[in-house]
Every structure is written in structure tokens, then in C-alpha cells.
Structure 1
């Protein structure tokens, strides 16, 4: 008895699990005009700038990214964390080869230097296409797995728009994806991935995997999770999770990342192979049955503007025209002028547009000063065929250095730096002109140049479903099955997608009294069109 007591007293306390974490995020639109170099990750494009080592903590603190959720949850579990590297860039065309090799090598070297480890968490996107590596995340996970060996648990969180590949599934012990679009649950997903990683620490236990690829493409404008069919798909998916199916993901994918494995996927993990297969097959069957519901209608720019103007006459909230075709959050350069011309041409009043990225005109406005009238050729600098600058006289109403905090549920407190910005006015239309691009996903992006978006009759945003952003998902009060509150906006939403034009509104969103419209600008390539991708060569999927 005495010996046993002494042995117990002298035993060293259990060591805290030692977990390395990092992030490397990019959403690649292979049709876009501009590629991402190292400078794009240093700048961040609305997300935290490139950070290494201990600086990662400050970079992701209280920001809506997966790594933030990891840090909060890992601290609660008492883990020893080893920060490595975290970076993200605004979506664009391919990640340049030099940037990909530089950043991925730095990430892998930092993880290798931290060995031995009890686990690794990675904050990834899932739709990165790099020069030389069309499956950017597959290569990332492959190299990390090679560095840590087969036995160290490796879990990654992914964007809902990720294009999952077999290499990604094989290299990671689990892939855990967002469940909201707009993405208000990025930090929450990092927490969910961390909770799953905790199951694997200190044990050889690994769940069975099931992976299903869906043979059609879903336009991002129809992937909003507050609308059907995604609302039902995600509700049913959450209900399938249980002890024998601890994590299950449906990723609608990012159709503009044009490579062989582009498209929607389902990834399931189960106590047995049968458990994983049944869960994956159930969700995949629901997605396959929903194909027609994802194939929506669109408006031409003038039709959409006229409809918005008519609706605005009796509306108590702004009518939102969501310009998907030039969404910088999907790789656009945010400088096409088709929708701006339509608003001006049709005499829209109390209308605001954000963002138009044109550093030359922003600099011209700053040189002229507030109150000046300038003649400028605005926008259309990215070279989209058929698009030309809007040449006109503009009144300079407000100026800004472009530095502010975006407190809304999407960016979640991210510190923004859009460079020199200006509010310009032409007739009844105000335009936010910025020097750097970021998706128009926070009202602060209007307010930083003195435009109050809630007081406008019409706002035209370079985003896909910003007009119906749910309130932020909370790590503290989520119950595991409900990932967003109902949309709080009852405004009307119009989206611009590069597909055929139509004048019919799409189905109403649950929880909102507004209708949704989509506008088409034929100058943009058809990167977001819906159609089956099986037996279709990647080069022809346009």
C-alpha cells in the first residue's frame, strides 16, 4: 500500500499535448486576370497579414478565421500550442510558383522544427490552384504528412467552397468544412476541427473515411446556406452527426477553380466504414436530387437596376444588387463598370456602389481634395474584354486612408487596409473607390468614406450574398446543430452572375421577406455557370 502511494506521488504529471498549427489560404479563380504573388499574402486582402511564429497569435486574435477558433479551443483544453505560419490572400488567379514554394516550404519547415508533436491543425481553404500544383491543398497536406509521419494526427478546416480531392482525404486524418455562406462560422469550424483532433491525441484510433464527388457544378450565387436547397441539406447533414459519425461535411465547391477535381464533395468520418459510407451516401443522394434547384435565373444589368428602382419606391430598407461576376471574394478584380453604367444610365437615386478598385483614380481624388470635381476614367483596368472605363466628371465627397476595422459577422474584427480610398458621386450614384481589393462583406467598407449604407435606396455590392449575412456564429452558444441565426435583413438582393439573362426572381429565402434577383453581364466569362462536369474535359468547363 505504502509503495503504491509513493509510486503514485512520484509519477510525473501528464504532459500537455504539443500541437503545431498554421494556415495557408487562397481561393483561386483560374479565369481571373491577376495572379497572387508573395506580396498578396503579405498584404492579406482584408485578412490578417502574413505572420510567423508567436506573431500568429496576434494576427488571428478575435478574427473570424479557423485558426482563431483553434487557439481558443486549444487553450481551453490545456494544450501546448506551437504557432508556425499563417497567411491568406484575396482570391485571384493562380498562386505564383515562387509564392507557393516560399510559403509552403516555410510552413513545413516550421512544423518540422517543432517535432516531436502530438498533432497538427491546419487552417486551409480547399480551392487553391498554384502554378505547377492544381491541387494546392493536396500538395500542402501531402508535404506536411511526409514531414510528421503517418502516426501524428493531422486535421484541417476548410472553406465551404473547397474542391476536395482524394489526395487531401488520404493525407489528412480529417477535413472539417464551414457550414455557412456567407461564412460566419469560420472560427467555429476551427473549433470543431480542434475538438475532433482531441479525439485522436494519444491514441492510434482513426475513423474510417468516405469521400463522394458530385458530378455537376454549383454556381456560388446559389450556394447561400440560408436559402434552399442548401438550408435543408445542411440541416439534414447536422442531424446525421452522432458518436458513430463524429464529423460530416458537404462542400458545394468553387467552380471557377477549373481543374480536374473541381466540384461539390461530401466527406464523412465514421466509427466503421459502413457508418462513414451510409452518412456520405445519404448526403450525396440529397445533393444529387437537388441539382435543378441550384440552377437559378439571372437578370441583365439594366433589367436588374430597373427592378431594384421599382422595388425601392416602396421599400423601407436598401435594395441590394449583388454583383457576383466581379466579386473579389471569388477572384474578380472588382473594377468592371457594367453595373455602374446601368445605375447611371437609368438615373438611379440614393444608390451606392462598393468597391471599385482603381488606385489611379483614388490618388487623383486625394490630390484634388474633398469638394473638388474631377474628370476621370474610372475602372476597367483589369482588361476584361468588352469592358471600358466610365469616363465622366465625379464630385469628391470624402477621402480615407483605407485603414479601419471590419466588425461585422464575416470579417469578424479584421483590420482592413484598402489603401487610399474616396467616395465619388456622379448624379445620384455614389461610388467607393479603393486602391486595394477586398470583397464588400462589411458595412464599414462604406462608412469609412462617409456613406451610410442603411440610408441608401440601392446598394450594388461586389459580393455574392452579402445582403443576407447571418449574425456571427458563436463558439460559446452553438449547440452543434445550428450554425447561424436566421438572416436579419429583409432587404431585396440582386446578384450578378455570368450566365444567361432572365427577369424571373428566384425563390424567397427562409427568414426573409425579400426576393432575390441576379444580374448578368455578358462581358464576364462563364466561370460560374451550372452544369454536369462528369465526362467534360476541364478545359471545356466554362
Structure 2
């Protein structure tokens, strides 16, 4: 029987964010499933929208025996601590080494992990895996669409295969695609040629959405280019908040010949560069966005939805800034709701006060973001929750959620979801679990950039993007870059990065 070692280790690192990812963050999972090891991995990775879950399903259909190592993820944040990385990698690589008599390895990784001691978390992990399995055993990896792919990742993997949707409704599908490609490698016993292209400008995440052009059209063309000669082809727009030379968009292709791979990669790269002008759009200030939403709401039959994009916990924000809440209250918005503000202290205080009580809080604003502060006001406690629910929408895909002690608070006619754990507001259930029906609101403010669209577009009259203070600037040129690769433009049609001092080399210390 074909034996495949499998595992998952997912983190999207915003090196400018306020909070690092500890081992405990991976144990809990945030918006990801809680950490699982050994046989428990195959129990957790079932019927959910995660790459490893899709691979498990496809592998079982192939009749493969899987050797599970470890699966974990943590909410996007600043660097993964050295302690967390080394503990997790030790279990994963050790499990692969101990498995023996393997036919292949599959890993579900993000592709944009930076640690306290490594620029390229995935490149180092793949190097360590390759060291224990040798050069010939197939090693296939699924990646996030936001991966900052490096030459080291391409070198050590036989194939990297990235999501094609943002919102990421195809995470499990990408795991299934990785299984199909691995089956091809096992059947033919031949390695494919690789082509890798790093693109010349950063793409802000708000304009990476695949529901809209130009990205939608780029992925349609990419899919059409795949054939027997180029079995898999990927475009990763990248995660533009990681200050190291590998940050940025890339294209990677796998072909029967080097010419096949090069031709496909070059065609997609030319297409993307030709759309540089189109990776841009209107972003409102908080007051502009709220006033525009209020005006639109007077004649709308469905909610106006605002993306609080700069405090997106899916991009490294702490999900606790108060700029959009202040704007709603300041402009006397009605039938409005904000979700989710992460503030365990305020959630605990609301539970202590009880439903129907008024409670004076210093809500949110605790992550030290410039221009932000706790919002000191008196709120009515409308509903309490233990934070446990299922998120059935297309992004989370039926995942069990645990937001910890949570509450719905009201100030004027504005309601606020307050939680004790962080997760991106990408599912309508993240309002409903505290008694707020999202479809009945005039205005919803979601701490998300794009993922919310998968579940909220069907109930939205109009979508707006606002830039309140947060850890993930909507304008990538606003970040204080110091270590990008020389010459890359820091936004579409923006200035080229020129390092003032020589960047340090990527560490490959094993700790």
C-alpha cells in the first residue's frame, strides 16, 4: 500500500503587527482547528474547508495509507516565536523521519511564515523534511493564495500548489488538487521541470479578491493554461506585510519539459504585470465610509457592509481597534453592528454585569496601534455567549468555533460583538451567536478585508472599504519597509524599494 506522511502548519506573518504567535496560539488555533497530533489529525481533518482535509479525503479514495504527524494553525499575527516553531517542526519532521518506508510526503502550509529567527519558515521546514526523506521521495505542498514564495520553497518541494480563490473557499479543493498531482508523480515516477517568477510590485490585499477583475480573469486564464504538458500552475499574489526579500507576488509552474514550464509561467507573469493599473480602488476614511453607508441605507433593502480592512485579524491585526465604532456612534448610525472586537476583559465584565445591565468599559484599543485607544463609554449588555458555535458559511466551511466568553453590547443604536478569542469575521454566524441577525441590520462593519465576502455578499446591498487605524495598511506603501528585495515597487505603480543598508541574509539556524 502507498504510504504518505501528512501534516499541516499554517501561519500568515505580518512583521509589522503588534502580537507574536506563541505555541499556545497554535494549540488553540484561533480560526483554525485546534492542534492535533498523530491519529487525531485524521479525525479532525474531515469535512472542513482546510487543505489537509481535502487531501485526506482524496488520499482515502486512492486507497493510500496516511501517516499523520501534526496539524495546527494560528491566527495571522507578528512573528511566530522560535519556541513555537521549533517545537512544532520537531514533531512534524520527527514524525516523518520515524515513519520509514514512505512513498511520499504531503504538507499543508501557508507560505508566508516569518519566525523570530527565520525569514522563511516554510523554506526551512521543507529543507529539514528533505534532509530526512532524501532527494528522490516526492514532496508536495499546498499553499495559501497569500504565500510569499521563495526560491528555497521551490527548490525543496516537487510541487507547490496554491489556492485560487480569495475569499479562500477552495482550501479543501487545493488539498484535493495536491493529491491528484501526487498521484501523477507516483504513477509516472518522473519529476517535473519547475519555473518560478517573482513579480515586480506588491499587490494590496483588498485588490486581490478573486470575485472581481483583474484577479478573476487572471485565474481563469491560468486554469485554461493547465494541460497534460503543464499539470499544475499557480499564481500567489502574496502577503504584502512581511518585511523580508521574499515578500511579493509570484508565479510557479510545473511542466513535462523546462520549456513547457517556462512558457506557462511567463505568460501568466506578463498578464499580471499588464494589469498593474487595475490593482487599485476607492478606500474611505471612517467618517466618509459611515456617512456614505448611512446615505445608501436610506434606500437599500439589504445591509451596507463596510470592511474594517486595516484591523483584519486575518492579516495580523488584533481585531480590537475602535475607529469604526467611534465613527458609527459619532455619526448617529442606526441599526448598525460591528464585529468582532477582541477584548477578554470587557467580555468578562459584561458576563459579570449580566444581560440587561449597563456597564462602563474601556473597550478595545489595547494593542497599541498609533491613532487608536480604548473606547471609554457605557454600554447595555444585550446578550451573552460562551463563544462556542459552528460557522457553516463557505469560508469556515462548518468549522467548530470557540470565541471564548462573548457578548453583544449596545450603545445608542449600534451593537458590538465582543469576544475573548480572535478570528476574522467571515461568517454570518459570528453575529448570530450573540443574538444579532446580520440580515436585519442597515450597516455591518466587519473586521475583515475580503474573506467575509464569501458569506456576506448574498445579503449585501453594497460593499465599502474603510481605513481606520490598524496593523495592516490598505496602502502597502505606508508600511515602513526596510528589507524588501531591491527594485520591487511597494505598491502598484509606486516607488521602487531601495535598501538604505544591506539586508541580513536569511537565517537557517536549526535552533
TM range, normalised to the smaller chain? over 0.9
* Cα distance, 1:535 vs structure 2: 4.5
Give me the TM-score of the superposition, normalised by structure 2: 0.93
Q: Residues 62-102 of structure 1, C-alpha deviation per residue, up to 9 Å, x if partnerless?
A: 11100111011011111111111100001100000010000
Does residue 263 (structure 1) correspond to residue 245 (structure 2)? The answer is: no
8 Å contact from structure 1 (residues 467, 489) kept in 2: no
Q: Residues 261-282 of structure 1, C-alpha deviation per residue, up to 9 Å, x if partnerless?
A: 1000000011111110010000
Task: Determine the structure 2 residue equivalent to 1:155.
Answer: 140
Q: Give the direction of change, closer, same or farther, for the CA distance of 1:538–1:235 in structure 2 (3 Å limit).
A: farther
Any idea what SS the aligned residue of 1:217 has? coil
Q: Distance in 2 between matches of 1:296 and 1:492?
A: 15
Q: Give the direction of change, closer, same or farther, for the CA distance of 1:539–1:178 in structure 2 (3 Å limit).
A: farther
8 Å contact from structure 1 (residues 309, 458) kept in 2: yes
Unaligned 5+ segments in structure 1 are: 1-15, 472-486, 496-518
Task: Determine the structure 2 residue equivalent to 1:244.
Answer: 229
Q: Residues 139-192 of structure 1, C-alpha deviation per residue, up to 9 Å, x if partnerless?
A: 111111111110100000000000000000000000000000000000000000
* Cα distance, 1:491 vs structure 2: 2.6
**Aligned match of 1:457 in 428, 442, 457?**
442
Task: Determine the structure 2 residue equivalent to 1:366.
Answer: 351
Task: Determine the structure 2 residue equivalent to 1:214.
Answer: 199
Q: Distance in 1 between matches of 2:77 and 2:179?
A: 29
Does residue 272 (structure 1) correspond to residue 249 (structure 2)? The answer is: no
Q: Give the direction of change, closer, same or farther, for the CA distance of 1:145–1:189 in structure 2 (3 Å limit).
A: same
Q: Distance in 2 between matches of 1:113 and 1:525?
A: 41
Q: Give the direction of change, closer, same or farther, for the CA distance of 1:98–1:78 in structure 2 (3 Å limit).
A: same
Q: Distance in 2 between matches of 1:97 and 1:219?
A: 28
How many residue pairs get matched? Answer: 488
Q: Distance in 1 between matches of 2:163 and 2:2?
A: 26
* Cα distance, 1:538 vs structure 2: 9.5
8 Å contact from structure 1 (residues 406, 416) kept in 2: yes
Q: Distance in 1 between matches of 2:459 and 2:134?
A: 48
Task: Determine the structure 2 residue equivalent to 1:77.
Answer: 62
**Aligned match of 1:129 in 114, 117, 123?**
114
Q: Distance in 2 between matches of 1:383 and 1:470?
A: 31
Q: Residues 37-78 of structure 1, C-alpha deviation per residue, up to 9 Å, x if partnerless?
A: 100000000211110011001212111100111011011111
RMSD of equivalent CA atoms:
1.7
* Cα distance, 1:19 vs structure 2: 0.6
Q: Give the direction of change, closer, same or farther, for the CA distance of 1:179–1:446 in structure 2 (3 Å limit).
A: same
* Cα distance, 1:489 vs structure 2: 4.8
Task: Determine the structure 2 residue equivalent to 1:408.
Answer: 393
**Aligned match of 1:225 in 206, 210, 215?**
210
Task: Determine the structure 1 residue equivalent to 2:165.
Answer: 180
* Rg larger in structure: 1
- Aligned ranges 1:440-451 → 2 under 5 Å: 440-451=425-436
Does residue 536 (structure 1) correspond to residue 498 (structure 2)? The answer is: yes
Q: Distance in 2 between matches of 1:92 and 1:277?
A: 35
* Cα distance, 1:524 vs structure 2: 5.1
**Aligned match of 1:56 in 33, 41, 44?**
41
Any idea what SS the aligned residue of 2:383 has? strand
**Aligned match of 2:416 in 428, 431, 434?**
431
Any idea what SS the aligned residue of 2:296 has? helix
Does residue 197 (structure 1) correspond to residue 182 (structure 2)? The answer is: yes
- Aligned ranges 1:501-516 → 2 under 5 Å: none
Q: Distance in 2 between matches of 1:522 and 1:538?
A: 27
Any idea what SS the aligned residue of 1:168 has? helix
Task: Determine the structure 2 residue equivalent to 1:491.
Answer: 461
